[in-house]
Amino acid sequence: MWSAYVNARVVITLDGCKRLRLHIRRCQDRACPRYHHPYLPEAEGRLPLPDHHFGLDVIALIGALRYQQHRSVPEIHQVLVARGVDICERSVTNLLDRYDELVSLRLSDSRRLQALTRKQGKVILALDGLQPDVGHEVLWVLRDCLSGEVLLARSLLSSTEQDLAGLIDEVKQSLSVPIAGAVSDGQHSIRNAVASALRGIPHQLCHFHYLREAARPLYEQDRHAKKELKKRVRGIRPIERQVEGRTDARADAIRGYCSAVRSAITDDGRPPLRPSGLRLHERLSAIHASLDGIRKKGVSARNWQR
């Protein structure tokens, strides 16, 4: 086909603003049923969507910030502006809708999913719900643990047993292989939905939630221990007031130990693998050992500083 005319358009990407020069081609054969029908360059579709000014990389980043990092629209807008993208909040909302549409098109490709699961011979179904903002719809994602593919994603206003069972049934009908097991966080509505839609199928908690539930008694005891330890180190602020305005070595040492105690108190740790109570006990014990060593040696204030 001959090049009929040239169009120019601007596309905003994460790498900056790009100006595209597009050669539009038309068939010149009058007997052709597509006579004079314009054809755009195929490479154009790799950058933006049709009739859009923002690149696909911007749309992908917006989707990742929303659903992976749970950012709000104003927060996403700030991130894009910080990266040099000239965009308003309203455009962020519109592009987020485009992202959801692209994901839906990807998930609706049943032939691709059937080909992947057919090689495995079975599916291990994982169910989880995500609520990006309080009071909004919950995005429910049903994923295959073996292939890592998302089988279904849909937003629901409610998360009842009937609603979730309907999603599971929809996944069952779209697969050509059986569902051999289910994994979830153990929410009651999910348990009931799996029991009704997947009768006789094993259903277990995910590793994170299983570990959290198993460590709950230890976590409660550790939290109580931390509360009791914090009672013994109260009164840091009055000590700091006593050395305000002083620049001698003894005052600097006192302020340093007070800062160490305050830092130890505010460290929450990462239970259950790193309990905050035990961590506080270790740090306070180290501070106590340091003070006790100074007391036993009877060193001067100048030696403290060294």
How wide is the angle at C-alpha 126 spanned by C-alphas 212 and 133, nearest 5°? 75
pLDDT value of position 254? 87
**Arithmetic mean of pLDDT, 112-141:** 79
Assess whether pLDDT exceeds 70 at residue 166. Answer: yes
d(CA 24, CA 9): 12
Of 38-52, 228-242, 274-288, which range is least confident? Answer: 38-52
Place of tokens 């002083």: 246
SS3 content of the chain, % helix, strand, coil (to 5): 50, 20, 30
pLDDT value of position 301? 46
Of 60-74, 87-101, 129-143, 197-211, which range is least confident? Answer: 129-143
C-alpha dihedral (142, 147, 149, 152), degrees to nearest 10 = -30
Q: What is the pTM of this model?
A: 0.47
Instruction: Give the largest CA-CA distance in the chain.
Output: 106
DSSP designation for 133: S
- What Å distances lie between residue 135 and 130, 156, 157, CA to CA? 12, 12, 9
| Whether 144 contacts 151, CB under 8 Å | yes
Band of the pLDDT at 302, cuts 50, 70, 90? very low
The contacts found for 32-39 with CB under 8 angstroms, 24 or more apart, are 38/4, 39/1
**70 φ, ψ (degrees, to nearest 5):** 60, 40
d(CA 195, CA 193): 5
Grouping H, G, I as helix, E, B as strand and the rest as coil, residue 145 is: coil
pLDDT value of position 177? 92
Band of the pLDDT at 134, cuts 50, 70, 90? low
What are the pLDDT digits (tens) for 182-216? 988 888 899 999 999 999 999 988 777 777 777 88
Average pLDDT for the chain: 83
What is the DSSP annotation of 66-124? HHTS---HHHHHHHHHHTT----HHHHHHHHHHHHHHHHHHHT-HHHHHHHHHHHSSEE
Pairing of strands 2-13, 123-130: unpaired
Tokens standing for residue 114: 């059937």
pLDDT value of position 82? 92
Assess whether pLDDT exceeds 60 at residue 304. Answer: no
- Residues sharing a CB contact under 8 Å with residue 169, sequence separation 6 or more, in sequence order: 197
What are the pLDDT digits (tens) for 69-95? 888 999 999 999 999 999 999 999 999
Cis peptide before 272, with omega less than 30 degrees from 0?
yes
What is the DSSP annotation of 205-224? E-HHHHHHHHTHHHHHHHHH
Tokens standing for residue 200: 């006789």
